[in-house]
Amino acid sequence: MRHTEFWDRLVTALGDTAYARYWAGSQVIGSLGSRTVEEALAAGESPKVVWRAVHETLGLPASTR
């Protein structure tokens, strides 16, 4: 998964680009080492791994995995 696909999926899940960016910078996720989405991506974590953590955190349907 590329970063652009990750961000597209997050915007789709949250419904708004500005809110998705805000959420990614403020929501700490334990499975990402207690980092935010932005911190995990900046540290070089794979967008696919980050998406899985986001997917679980938001409780999204399996079809969006």
At 28, is the secondary structure helix, strand, or coil? strand
Q: Is the dihedral of CA 64, 60, 42, 46 positive or negative?
A: negative
- 17: tokens are 């680009």
Place of tokens 């955190």: 57
**Is the pLDDT confidence value at 64 over 90?**
no
pLDDT tens, 1-39? 999 999 999 999 999 999 999 999 999 999 999 999 999
Ramachandran area for residue 45 (φ above 0: left; ψ -120 to 50: alpha; else beta)? beta
Mean pLDDT within 29-57: 97
Q: How much is the pLDDT for 18?
A: 97
Sign of CA dihedral 20, 24, 25, 29: positive
